[in-house]
Structures are given as structure tokens and as C-alpha cells.
Structure 1
Amino acid sequence: MARRDDAPASGRRRGRRIAAVAAALTVLSGGAVGAVALSAHGRDQQPKEAGAPSAQTTTLARKDLSDSRTLTGTLGFGGQTTVKGTGKGLLTRLPKPDATVARGKPLYWVDDRPVMVFFGDTPVFRTLDTPGVSGRDVTVLAENLRALGYDTGPVAGAPPPRAAGSGHGAEPGAKLTPALLAALKRWQHDTGQEETGKLVPGQVVVVPGPYRVSGIKAQLGDPVAEEVLTVTSVRKSVQVKVDAQDAASIRKGDRVTIALPSTKSVPGKVTSVGQTVQGGDDSNASGAASEATLQVTVEPVDDAAVQDLSSASVQVTFTAEQRKHVLVVPVGALLALREGGYALQRPGGQLVGIKTGLFAKGMVEVSGAGLKEGDRVVTTS
């Protein structure tokens, strides 16, 4: 009887164990499913190896930075000057365009007599034949004969070398001596001129230096006392119109780069900066104010680099400012601070106050405590 009474209790205990085991299996089964789901979710949240960062960054670099601008210019033989004849007579022979105007050589002929070339800054304005007279025209005569290899003897009254920028008005000039007149006569003999031993206006034409004939204005048979021809420098130059405000940063002697039509670039230098402003008023046809400009002259360092070009449109690059081996970042990396100035932002969000230097070509020079080459910062470009 006792066994029969215990059987139901034992059955109930076994039922509870089975239910517990079933529940445990259910929990374990659900846990396994949940673990699989969490594992998959975790894998989805892992960063991808080649994924893009949430903010674009750039690296601080050290390089040379220069502020430059490129302007269009015209290459050609610049500095055209008109040569006028002196004295009486008719033109009987003229040079050809592109002929070189050389010291001691004939430039044109009057009444079939050659008119020779002297270099200088004062024309022969009187007859030089009497020892004792002095002046700048005597200095021109003496300097040219010496340059041509003639012994002129001591030049009495010759001024000391001129200081740069000094005026000519106070210079008395050299004194005409018998030795100088004798040298003049020898030169006349050697060049096939009449050996007079004196120099009269019209026998020589004085120009500042070596030139080339750019054009003929007179005709054979015209009186010599008129405009005879035009000359230009033997060196090619580039004429560039520069905004009058920008021209303030350009100096004589500055180095430039000249891009030729062939895309070849050659070095050049600034030889002059104009002082006369052109334009800047409303006198043009449209009634609008024209741009105020100054003319800047540039010459190639090596004239042979442009020997095949007589005239051409070129691009001239002027470098106004330059920094060597400085830290730079793209301008888009700058953050304007509310209190003024700029900062850079590191990828972690930290702001670093900086000082800016030269801005050029989308880059900016930066400096600040703790900044070094290779640092990464946030940028928008």
C-alpha cells in the first residue's frame, strides 16, 4: 500500500524534473539563438579595414611657398627711338631693317658720305676743331675714340666717374686737346672719311648704345635734317601692363619666369617699372572707368632663348613673396575662432591655436606650439 501511495509522488517528481529540463533546454536554445544574433550584430559593428574616416583629414607638410601671379605680356624689340638727321645734304643711302647700329660704323649716307655712329648721351652740336674748348660733346668724342682703340692722350678736364643717380648738369666735360684731334684724324683716315682733323655736326650720329634698325622713315633723296629711321634695343624684352596697385611689389632686378608660345619657360628679370599711370579714368568708348596700369619691362636672362621669335604673346610669372621650408596646410583646414584668429582641429577634436603666414595657391603657412611635420588635422578640402 505504501508503494502505491508513493508512486504518484514519484511520478510527479519525475514530471517536474522533465519540465525543468525542458525549460532549461528552452532557455539554452533561446540563449544560443540570442548569442548567434548578438555575434552577428557585433560583426556588423566592427570597423571595416578600408573604411573612410568620419572627417576628412590632411597632413602638415614642409615646403617652399610663394605668392605669384601670371600676366600676359608682349615679347619684341622694345624702346623704339626715332633718329633725326643733322646738317645739310640729301640722303643717298639707307640701311636695311634689322641692321645693327654699331659704334664707329656708318648708319646712313649723305651726299654719298657716310654718317658714322658714336655712343653717348650728348649730340655733336658744334664744330670741334679748336684745342681748349670743353664740354660733354668733347667727352663723347674722347670716349668713343678710346673705345675704338685710338690713343687720345691725357684728356684734360675729364670729369671723375659719375655717381649712380647723379645729374649731368654739373659735369663740365672733357677738354679738347691736340692729341685728341690727332686721334680723330687717324680715325677718319682709317674709315675712309675726309681727313679734316675736325668734327662738325652731321658727321656722326650719337645714340645711347647698341641698337637695331626697326624701320625706315625717310626715302632716298630726302633732306637729311628730318626723321630718318627708327631704332630699338638689340635685346628682346617683354612689355607687361600691371595693375597700378600690384606694381608696388615689383622691383627692378626681380626674377621672373617667361612662358613662351611653345610652352617652354625661360628665366627673366625686371629691367624697369614705369612711373606713369595709364588709364584709370572714364575716357574709354564704353564710358566705364579703365583700369589704372603701369608698364613693366622684362628681359630674358639669355637672349638666345628667344632668338627665333620677333614678336609673340607670352605669360610672365611674378613672384611677390616667398617662404622657404615652412609648415603648410590647405586653407580649408583653418577654423576661424569667435575671439579672433585661427585654429586647427586634430582628428580627436582638440583645437590648436595657430598663427598664419603667407597664403598662396590654396595653401597657408602655419605655426603654433606643438605643431610638427606629419601631424594630421581636419580639413574641408
Structure 2
Amino acid sequence: MPEEDNRRRRRGRVAAGLAVAVAVPAIIVTALVWTRDVDAAAEEPAETISVGTVPVARTDLSTNRTLTGTLGYGTPRAVRAVREGVITGLPASGATIDRGQSLYQVNDEPVPLFIGAPPLYRTISGTNMTGRDVAMVAKNLGALGYAIGDQPDAGQQVKQTYTEEPDPAPDPAPSGTPPPGTPVTRTAWVTVRDGEGVLTAALSAAITRWQRDVGLPADGVIEAGDLAVLPGAVRVDSLAVQVGDPATGDLMSVTQTTKVITVQAPVTDADALKPGGTVTLRMPDGTETPGEIGETATVAQTPDGAPPGTAQQVSVTITMSDPKAAGRLDGGTVEVRVEGETRADVLAVPVTALLALREGGYAIQLPDGRLIAVATGMFSGGMVEVSGDGVTEGLAVVTAS
């Protein structure tokens, strides 16, 4: 083969279709690598990529980013009915319900709000009954000012007295035992575990006093549906039922009582939105106030109603350092500025000017075809920091578009 043809083949490696993913913190940048082979036997010309030249720029690069958030009270959660009957009382939308206050009424009896966990799942009754639910009741009554006495320590043994309900279809009773269908009172010694409360005589008396005060039957027994147990005080977001409706299903949705900013952020920004990080908030009235990243969802989701192919997002909750910064506004759009790293006075080129070398590393190409190996630094806004021998401000380099 003539030497001239060989030279043509060596020069024939022009432009490209291979993409190389370059990962940096919170950003994924794709650089084009030009590698098209010209086959002398090919009858159809290969597809070409438009190229041009740009000068190497001296500039400042930053990973700061600006996101859009929504002022509100956070994501609503549903409150479901756990007690049969008819709804006889409801709060107004926007009302704030705190510990001990009635969240709604069933059969003309209040269902007060207790704060904590777990929710009630059984009847609280019997001498020295133990459990985390008992501890929750004790903490709430104590916080409401009721004298609950001393609680036994973890590891201590207490003597329980409880009633065992009869078998609905019992066998005939042997001689000397209670007849079938008769409840049996039993006793047992149990060890109090860490985190458990004990239904002592003092706590039972406190329950009776509290029931009398709020208008519940003062019998010292708390049924599972007598309380609404939530993580904190709530603000009523919306009502799902009306007075007179059956107490079934979702009754209302509630939120936290503190105003927050909720951001639906691209997944590529999630690493920069870590809990405890600081941000600058530009409020709907134009004022600026500092904020702190509270909770970042760990599951990415496609926004509701978004068309197919829409990128998934993560929900981020941001609190205002000054809760009064929102004023009387309950909603609105907030600009969220997340501070990142800044590199001042660096040489940079568009990401599309990078070529990935087969032997590893990167290069930029001059208009005459020569390659200059470069080291890459920060990626930001479609630009990449570059350095290397011969890389100077204003140097013309080839870029793809």
C-alpha cells in the first residue's frame, strides 16, 4: 500500500460516537470521544459530528447550585379512624392540635392527641401491665401535668394481674374449675424491659383523673381507639369526612406545625443535599434567610403526573433558621441556593472538548490535529478545569456540538 494511503488511514480517525461517563461528586458529566474509523471498503459515508473551535478560558468554576422549593408545612399524612361510630366533631382546616387536645370526636366523645410511639394496639388495663404503649401513655400524662408516680426500672420484676377471656367454644370444665365461659383472673411475675412502662396503681389513678377531665368514661381503661397517637403536634391540612359520616377510612390529612421548604431535587444533586448542610433561602417576598437541610429521601421517584421519561427526583426538606422568616405566608416558591466548592482563576474548556485517550487520561485537540494531554479538575455548568504543558489562556481547541 502506498505511503500516502497509510498516512490517510492514520489521519482518518476523526470524530465519534463513543461516550465516556466521568463521575464527580453530585455531578455526572458525559464527554465525547472522537474515534470514527474510515473503512475504505464502506460504500456509505459515516455520520459526522459538527465540530468547531473555542478558546481555553480563564474563569471561576463552582459547584454551587440553585434549586426551586415550595414553602409549606411539609408532606401531609393521613389520619385513619380506629374507632367505630359516627363523626360528631371535627377541627377546622388549618387548626393546630397539640398534646392532649381533641383531634376529632366519635359518638360525642373526644379522641385526644397523644405524642410519641407506638400507637395503641390493645386495651390498657390490668395491674402492672407492661409495654412501650404503657410508657407512651405515662409520658403523655406526665407532660400534661398528671401525677403518675414512680415507674419501675428496667430489669425489675413486677407482679401482674390480668383477666383471661374464656374460649368462645370451650370444652366441658373438669370438677373444681370455673364453668365454661367464665373469665379467669391470673397473676404472673414479669421483668420490665428497657423502654417499657408499667401500669402501676398511681398511673391507673392518673388515667382515671385525665378521663374525667376530658369527658371520657372514667374507668381507668384505655381502648385502642380512645387516642390518636402521632409523632408530634399537627396542623390540619384537609378534611376527608364531614360531621355525621361513619368513622371509617381516612378522616383527615395533617402536617407538622412548623413551616418548611420542600425541594424536589434531581438525583444528581442528592449528594450535595446532606442533612445538616446549610443553604441560603430567597423567600417569596425577596428577602434572604439561612436554612438547614433536614431530611433527604432515600428513594427517588418520578413526579406525579410527569410524562414518560421524566427524570426521577428526591424529596428534600429544609428548615428555616428563623421560623418567622416566612411571615404570614403559608405557601409560595422559594429559591434555594446550595453552596459548593469554588475554584477561582482556572483554565477551562467545554466538556465536549475532552477526548478520552485509549491509553487512559484525557486530551484536547488543536485545530491542526495535534493532541495535548491534560489533567482534569472541577466540572461545572458544562465546563471542565484543565491543565497541562502547553495549555494556555486563549489557546484554540476543537469541540464537538
Q: TM-score range by the shorter chain?
A: 0.5 to 0.7
Counterpart secondary structure, 1:202: helix
Q: 2:86 aligns with which of 75, 86, 90?
A: 90
Q: Give the structure 2 partner of residue 351 of structure 1.
A: none
The amino acid that maps onto 1:329 is: D
For residue 156 of structure 1, report the CA deviation from its aligned partner.
2.3
The amino acid that maps onto 1:295 is: S
Whether the aligned pair in 2 keeps the contact of 1:329 and 1:366 (CA below 8 Å) is no
After TM superposition, the score normalised by the length of structure 1 is: 0.64
The amino acid that maps onto 2:282 is: A
Q: Deviations over 1:215-247 (max 9, x none)?
A: 111111122233211100111222212221221
Q: Give the structure 2 partner of residue 237 of structure 1.
A: 260
Q: Give the structure 2 partner of residue 133 of structure 1.
A: 129
Q: Give the structure 1 partner of residue 317 of structure 2.
A: 297
Q: Deviations over 1:263-317 (max 9, x none)?
A: 211111111111112239xx964x5x32132222212122211132222122111
Whether the aligned pair in 1 keeps the contact of 2:348 and 2:384 (CA below 8 Å) is no
Q: Deviations over 1:304-345 (max 9, x none)?
A: 11132222122111123368xxxx426479xx9xxx999xxx
For residue 262 of structure 1, report the CA deviation from its aligned partner.
2.1
Counterpart secondary structure, 1:310: coil
Decide whether aligned partners of structure 1 residues 79 and 155 sit closer, same or farther in structure 2, where only a CA change above 3 A counts.
Answer: farther
Q: Give the structure 1 partner of residue 197 of structure 2.
A: 174
Q: CA RMSD in A?
A: 3.9
Whether the aligned pair in 2 keeps the contact of 1:136 and 1:173 (CA below 8 Å) is yes
Q: Deviations over 1:15-36 (max 9, x none)?
A: xxxxxxxxxxxxxxxxxxxxxx
Q: For structure 2, list consecutive stretches of 5 or more residues without a partner in the other structure.
A: 1-57, 156-192, 355-360, 364-374, 396-401
Q: Give the structure 1 partner of residue 241 of structure 2.
A: 218
Counterpart secondary structure, 1:320: coil
Q: Provide the aligned length of Structure 1 versus Structure 2.
A: 288
Q: Give the structure 2 partner of residue 118 of structure 1.
A: 114
Task: List aligned pairs for 1:192-341, cutoff 5 A.
Answer: 192-279=215-302, 285=307, 289-321=309-341, 328-329=344-345, 331=347
Decide whether aligned partners of structure 1 residues 366 and 110 sit closer, same or farther in structure 2, where only a CA change above 3 A counts.
Answer: same
Whether the aligned pair in 1 keeps the contact of 2:273 and 2:296 (CA below 8 Å) is yes
Decide whether aligned partners of structure 1 residues 113 and 237 sit closer, same or farther in structure 2, where only a CA change above 3 A counts.
Answer: same
Counterpart secondary structure, 2:141: helix
For residue 180 of structure 1, report the CA deviation from its aligned partner.
0.8
After TM superposition, the score normalised by the length of structure 2 is: 0.61
Counterpart secondary structure, 2:340: strand
More strand per residue: 2
Distance in 2 (alpha carbons) for counterparts of 1:332 and 1:187: 70
Q: For structure 1, list consecutive stretches of 5 or more residues without a partner in the other structure.
A: 1-58, 160-169, 343-354, 368-377
Decide whether aligned partners of structure 1 residues 110 and 357 sit closer, same or farther in structure 2, where only a CA change above 3 A counts.
Answer: same
Counterpart secondary structure, 2:248: coil
Q: Deviations over 1:61-102 (max 9, x none)?
A: xx9x96310011222121211111222221111100111110
Counterpart secondary structure, 1:218: coil
Matched, 1:81 2:77: yes
Decide whether aligned partners of structure 1 residues 356 and 185 sit closer, same or farther in structure 2, where only a CA change above 3 A counts.
Answer: same
Distance in 2 (alpha carbons) for counterparts of 1:229 and 1:292: 29
For residue 201 of structure 1, report the CA deviation from its aligned partner.
2.1
Task: Identify the range of structure 1 (140-149 vs 302-311) with the bigger mean alpha-carbon deviation.
Answer: 302-311
Distance in 2 (alpha carbons) for counterparts of 1:254 and 1:119: 28
Decide whether aligned partners of structure 1 residues 212 and 264 sit closer, same or farther in structure 2, where only a CA change above 3 A counts.
Answer: same
Q: Give the structure 1 partner of residue 42 of structure 2.
A: none
Decide whether aligned partners of structure 1 residues 173 and 101 sit closer, same or farther in structure 2, where only a CA change above 3 A counts.
Answer: same
Distance in 2 (alpha carbons) for counterparts of 1:119 and 1:322: 45
Decide whether aligned partners of structure 1 residues 103 and 73 sit closer, same or farther in structure 2, where only a CA change above 3 A counts.
Answer: same
The amino acid that maps onto 2:300 is: V
- Structure of higher CA gyration radius: 1
Whether the aligned pair in 2 keeps the contact of 1:250 and 1:320 (CA below 8 Å) is no
For residue 359 of structure 1, report the CA deviation from its aligned partner.
7.0
Distance in 2 (alpha carbons) for counterparts of 1:140 and 1:322: 49
Q: Give the structure 2 partner of residue 107 of structure 1.
A: 103
Distance in 2 (alpha carbons) for counterparts of 1:113 and 1:193: 6
Whether the aligned pair in 2 keeps the contact of 1:330 and 1:363 (CA below 8 Å) is no
Matched, 1:148 2:164: no
